[in-house]
Amino acid sequence: MKRLAAQAALQNLSDGMLLGLGSGSTAEIFVEELAGRVRDGLRVRCCATSERTADLARSLGVEVLSLEHFTMLDLTVDGADEIDPQLNLIKGGGACHLREKVVASFRE
């Protein structure tokens, strides 16, 4: 299911986008899938909500810049930490909460 979610998110990408990369297992799968698209010629610039995600992306050939290079992002892809009975997604259960909020705030 996580891989399917990551692959669905890839359908929203286009050349030249500025992306936020989330943290956690689903985000890592997205980064792996994104790297394949980058190898095929997709050009994106990214910032990450964790050093772990940034290191993974860089190791796979995805361009990752520090947060200060961005004031706005086209899209941020991250997983939910929890889903309540009303299907509301909850973020903030992990250790990257502040940085996730900063990256998410780069949207208009």
Q: Which residues are catalytic?
A: 100
CA of 57: how far to CAs of 17, 23, 49, 103, in Å? 15, 11, 12, 16
CB-count burial class (<10 Å; 0-12, 13-18, 19+) for 30: buried
